[in-house]
């Protein structure tokens, strides 16, 4: 175990420091941009990054407007859903993130954040609060349950919402489904940091096999302890459905690729293994994991 690991008891930390550790580590977090309404008809709009979807059947989302850490007061959103148990959860993407941040300002109750932040109110079909016209996706919700996690400052309040209507802007759809690249979503990090899910920050990982992958433990020790291959590389190899056959290994062993590694490293075993592993890593990156493992197994044959 690394002696430099920082290990902390959360009960020994101030609320501020505990909050910072949690929110910097558990990130990025999606943002629920929540519109609510009070019994007098006053609309509130506020973002919350304690948020996610928790069920598809029934469709359930949960967000948490926590008590303020500085003075233990509650937020208008929390007070509104207790009085009028409905809300609209709108999703935040990059074209609207600065306006969303402005809406997080703690304006007085009679000030409408839709107006202050410059968002369009769109009447909902099922619930009373309006939805955000600029959002790529809106979810009209009925509040099913409120769970108060504590009574002290910074305690969360779980607002369990059942989705009763969904709305998606057409420019974010491809063949009738939401398109990840078009959505350009943002997430909340710690402090003042956000992240953007677009461009080179997006990447794909092949789904685990329907059957059982061979697992990292099935790989030769020289592969598992490679100084070149990363944990991600080993994960790809472990997701293969079977080790390469003798025939597949022989084909690679007779290939120009393998022969070039042999000739370029001559009798230097350490150099040979390093170059071999670098070549295998390049093949894994090119989605040729089976061939990469066959290449790595050449050294044991």
* pLDDT at residue 300 in the model: 55
Domain residue ranges in the chain: 10-199, 216-300
Q: How far is CA 133 from CA 31, 126, 130, 202, 292, in A?
A: 16, 16, 9, 26, 49
Torsion on CA atoms 52, 53, 54, 56, rounded to nearest 10: 180
* pLDDT at residue 83 in the model: 98
* pLDDT at residue 269 in the model: 64
Distance separating alpha carbons of residues 114 and 120, to the nearest angstrom = 7
For the record, the structure tokens of 52 come out as 């996610």
DSSP reduced 3-state for 68? coil
In the chain, how long is the greatest CA-to-CA distance? Answer: 84
Q: How far is CA 164 from CA 87, 139, 182, in A?
A: 10, 7, 25
Which CATH superfamily includes the segment(s) 10-199? Electron Transport, Fmn-binding Protein; Chain A (2.30.110.10)
Per-residue pLDDT of the chain (301 residues; tens, 9 = 90+): 456 999 999 999 999 999 999 999 999 999 999 999 999 999 999 999 999 999 999 999 999 999 998 899 999 999 999 999 999 999 999 999 999 999 999 999 999 999 999 999 999 999 999 999 999 999 999 999 999 999 999 999 999 999 999 999 999 999 999 999 999 999 999 999 999 999 999 988 877 766 788 999 999 999 999 999 999 999 999 999 999 999 999 999 999 888 888 888 766 666 888 999 999 999 999 999 999 999 999 875 4
* pLDDT at residue 205 in the model: 83
């Amino acid at each position: 175990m690394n002696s430099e690991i920082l290990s902390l008891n959360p009960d020994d930390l101030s609320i501020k420091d505990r909050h910072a550790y949690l929110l910097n580590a558990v990130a990025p977090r999606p943002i629920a941009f929540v519109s609510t309404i009070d019994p007098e008809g006053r609309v509130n709009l506020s973002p919350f990054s304690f948020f996610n979807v928790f069920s598809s059947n029934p469709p359930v989302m949960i967000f948490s407007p926590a008590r303020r850490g500085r003075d233990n007061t509650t937020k208008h959103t929390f007070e509104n859903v207790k009085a009028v148990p409905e809300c609209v959860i709108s999703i935040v993407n990059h074209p609207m993130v600065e306006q969303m941040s402005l809406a997080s300002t703690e304006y007085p109750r009679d000030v409408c954040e839709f107006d202050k932040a410059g968002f369009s109110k769109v009447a909902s079909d099922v619930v009373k609060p309006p939805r955000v016209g600029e959002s790529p996706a809106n979810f009209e919700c009925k509040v099913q349950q409120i769970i108060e996690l504590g009574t002290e400052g910074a305690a969360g309040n779980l607002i369990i919402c059942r989705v009763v209507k969904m709305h998606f802007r057409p420019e974010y759809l491809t063949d009738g489904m939401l398109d990840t690249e078009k959505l350009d979503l943002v997430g909340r990090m710690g402090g003042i940091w956000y992240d953007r899910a677009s461009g080179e920050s997006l990447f794909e990982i092949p789904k685990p096999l329907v059957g059982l992958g061979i697992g990292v433990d099935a790989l030769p020790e020289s592969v598992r302890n490679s100084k070149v291959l990363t944990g991600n590389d080993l994960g790809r190899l472990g997701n293969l459905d079977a080790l390469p056959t003798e025939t597949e290994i022989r084909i690679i062993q007779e290939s120009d690729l393998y022969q070039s590694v042999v000739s370029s490293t001559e009798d230097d075993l350490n150099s040979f293994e390093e170059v071999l592993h670098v070549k295998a890593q390049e093949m894994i990156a090119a989605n040729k994991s089976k061939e990469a493992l066959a290449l790595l197994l050449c050294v044991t044959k």
